[in-house]
Amino acid sequence: MNRIIDAHALMVFLEKEPGYDKVQSILVNAAEKDNHLLMTSVNFGEVYYIVLRECGKEKVEEIEGVIKALPIDIVDADIELARDAAKFKAVKKMSYADCFAAALAKLHKGELITGDKEFKEVEEDIRINWL
């Protein structure tokens, strides 16, 4: 099964917040099994802007290197993904960026790893692994 990581879960890992151990275990398992997690370029952008805004250019460059070393494949937002994200956004009370993570999980029939309560909106549409 494909596993999708959202910006919230990645930030939990990067900042060693509650849930860190679970995300770390998922990442270690993904590396050991050579079964990389997926993340949309939109959600990567969320992490990037948060770190840049809060910590500056030097730190965001360091964090980008850390992310590239993790077993996460960044999936570009193509027209199909954008369309499915827009369908979620049209009827769900979620941020547009979160809709991309949900759409990727739906397209890949995967499991979304998150602790972001906004995803309660799509619990009936996708499988969620809550932190």
pLDDT tens-digit series, residues 110-123: 999 999 999 999 99
Instruction: Determine the pLDDT at residue 1.
Output: 86
pTM confidence score: 0.95
Which residues does 58 contact at the CB level (< 8 Å), separation at least 6? none
- Residue 51, CA distances (Å) to 60, 96, 119 in order: 6, 19, 22
The span from the CA of 122 to the CA of 131, in Å, is 16
The span from the CA of 27 to the CA of 23, in Å, is 6
109: pLDDT strictly greater than 90: yes
Model confidence band, residue 6 (pLDDT cutoffs 50, 70, 90): very high
For the chain, domain boundaries:
3-130
For residue 40, report the phi and psi dihedrals to the nearest 5 degrees.
-75, 155
Architecture of domain 3-130: 3-Layer(aba) Sandwich (3.40)
Write down the mean pLDDT value for the chain: 97
